[in-house]
Amino acid sequence: MKTFYIETFGCQMNAHDSEKVVGTLLREGYSQVPDEADAGLILYNTCSIRDKAEQKVFHRLNEYKKMQGEGKKFAVLGCVAQQEGNKIFERAPYVSLVAGSSSYRNLPDMLARLEAGETRITGLDDRQTDETFDTEFTARTNPHRGYITIIEGCDKFCSYCVVPYTRGKERSRTSASVLAEAQRISHSGFTEIQLLGQNVNSYADPSGKRTFAELLAAVGEVQGIQRVRFTTSHPRDFTRDIVDVIDAVPTLCDHVHLPVQSGSTDVLRAMQREYTREWYLERIAWTKAAKRDISLTSDIIVGFPGETDRDFEDTITLLDHVGYDAIYGFKYSPRPNTPAIHMHDSIPEEIKIERLAILNARQREIQRTNYARHLGHTMPIMVEHGANSRGQITGRSTQNKTVNFTCETTPAIGSYIDVRITQIFPSSLVGEAASASVAPSPALLAQQALNARFSAAQ
């Protein structure tokens, strides 16, 4: 029997890539096992966005070393695979397959070569391919959310970022194939869809039929779909019709993740972000002028080469101006192959740490004020986790806020329930159930039962 174990690191794109890889392996006659000790093939889907993520990979690869000699085969997938390529074989000679995400469509062939005993198989397409990794055999392991990649790769080349080198050039799927997948997802019981892309709003329909905003509307109108999310948006390609369509189609979630990276136009220029502070704030103004209360979140890098105190201050004033509901702050981390690696990493680590702490503290204050607007309100929540040790169930609002609440019954994962907000914390809301839950369809429950067989044993 052919068995495999897969471990995934990194972003939602990676999580969803793994769902597609698992689907491909199952179709090729493999079975998934919850314990690496029982697996003939161990796959590791990696992330290299920042230095720490990459170090984790090599740490795990070293642990694999102990399992050599048990007849196991090892595969390294994802961004570290693409970035390090053949060097992985030198560092970890027990690895037989190294493949970046833009070559996954060749996985069946690579698996056949692995089974035939080859030990140095590479899939390193880099920026060569125009093809996307579409498969009808996606194993949907997220219990309540169906992911759909609508655009792969990135053509933006921000000066600090590895993604354009690890995930290849931008290539979009036709809107017809996205909609067909949305319908399949709905039939299998999911009510929430998340459209994925490194720059999801740079989507360019190869059939020329729909703009990104029109695709959002069409997915939002698929029968049975109640929530549509999309991530990540790039400010450069953020057009007004995206705000209009969120206003017009109620199933589109009232949340936009629009990473600014820095509030200083000088730093944005050095980052090659292709917009200024003013350009970004104009898009924020459109979003705030919407009829719906659209929640805004962002990614921010502190300590980019040359970032002065004044530049950093510009980032803090931008936080105050926008009033984000959440940010993900990162210390700049020099990455191989990127243009910024040639700039002097001028900001000392202790200043980066200090700036990150100031940023996060300021953001906490903003959220404390922001979240107060929800106090006493009742909002529909989708249940994501069963009760914790304190009896609190966890779910999410359409704005993507975490809501912990009490409820007399235990609603199923994927069900919807109205919750009245009674308390606010800087990063979450607390409340109590204000309605009976609307249970998910039998199809979704059957899918969850299938997945639980693995997670229970893990």
**Which residues of the chain form contacts with ligand SF4 (CB under 6 A)?**
154, 156-158, 161, 163-164, 198-199, 234
Q: How far apart are CA 224 and CA 186, in angstroms?
A: 6
Q: In the bound complex, what is the minimum distance in angstroms from residue 196's beta carbon to ligand SF4?
A: 12
CA distance 209 to 206: 8
Q: How far is the CB of 268 from ligand SF4 (least distance, A)?
A: 11
Decide: helix, strand or coil at residue 422.
Answer: strand
Binds 234, which of ligand SF4, ligand 5AD, none (CB < 5 to 8 A, cut-off by type)?
A: ligand SF4
For ligand SF4, the closer CB: 23 or 339: 339
How remote is the C-alpha of 92 from its chain's centroid?
Answer: 28
255 versus 335: smaller Cβ distance to ligand 5AD? 335
Q: How many Cβ atoms from other residues are within 10 Å of residue 214's Cβ?
A: 14
Using the minimum distance from each CB to ligand 5AD, give the nearer residue, 296 or 424.
Answer: 296
Rounded Cα–Cα distance for residues 236 and 382 (Å): 32
433 binds, among ligand 5AD, ligand SF4, none (CB under 5 to 8 A by kind): none
What distance in Å separates the CA atoms of residue 57 and residue 154, rounded to the nearest whole number? 23
Q: Which residue has the tokens 């719906």?
A: 292
Nearer to ligand SF4, 145 or 234 (CB): 234
Are β-strands 378-385 and 393-396 bridged in parallel, bridged antiparallel, or unpaired? Answer: antiparallel
Q: Rounded to the nearest whole angstrom, what is the least distance from the CB of residue 204 to ligand SF4 in the complex?
A: 15
* CB closer to ligand 5AD out of 275 and 332: 332
| Nearest approach, Cβ of residue 303 and ligand SF4 (Å) | 16
* Max Cα-Cα span within the chain: 63
Q: How far is the CB of 414 from ligand 5AD (least distance, A)?
A: 27
Instruction: List the one residue out of 239, 236, 222 whose CA is nearest residue 184.
Output: 222
Picked from ligand SF4, ligand 5AD, none, the partner binding residue 154 (CB below 5 to 8 A depending on kind) is ligand SF4
Q: Letter for the amino acid at 164?
A: P
Quote the CA–CA distance of 117 and 128 in Å, as a whole number: 27
Site residues (CB under 6 A) for ligand 5AD?
49-50, 160-161, 259, 261, 299, 301, 330, 332-333, 335
- For ligand SF4, the closer of residues 6 and 326 by Cβ is 326
Residue 17 Cβ vs ligand 5AD, minimum distance, rounded to whole Å: 15
Closest to 225 (Cα-Cα) out of 440, 4, 10, 395: 440
